[in-house]
Amino acid sequence: MITDASGTFNEVTRHSAWLRMQAAGVQIMSWFGMACELHRDWRNDIEGLGALFSNHLPNYRNLMTSYFAKNG
């Protein structure tokens, strides 16, 4: 279950739902973790997944910019 895709703004409701799902055996993770799990091998498409992360995570964009400036 992707925690970032939760449909509630109520913290108590959100955490109660997460606890029920965990008790039922659901693996809980963020969209970033799921993207990394699905990608599995960075050798296949560094630019594609890197672009996805860069577009949604400013700190990751800074990391990619620094990497390409040094190794470019």
Domain extent listing, the chain: 1-31, 41-72
CA-closest candidate to residue 31, choices 59, 62, 63, 57:
57
- Beta carbons within 8 Å of 35's beta carbon, 6+ residues apart: 49, 52, 53
**Residue 72 pLDDT greater than 70, yes or no:** no
Return d(Cα 3, Cα 27) in angstroms, integer.
10
Confidence grade of residue 52 (pLDDT, cut at 50, 70, 90): confident
pTM of the prediction? 0.61
Record the tokens describing residue 27, joined without a space: 């693996």
If you average pLDDT over every residue of the chain, what do you get?
A: 85
User: Looking at the DSSP assignment, which residues form a beta bridge with residue 39?
Assistant: none
Which residues are bridge partners to 71 per DSSP?
A: none
**Confidence label for 2 from pLDDT (cuts 50, 70 and 90):** very high
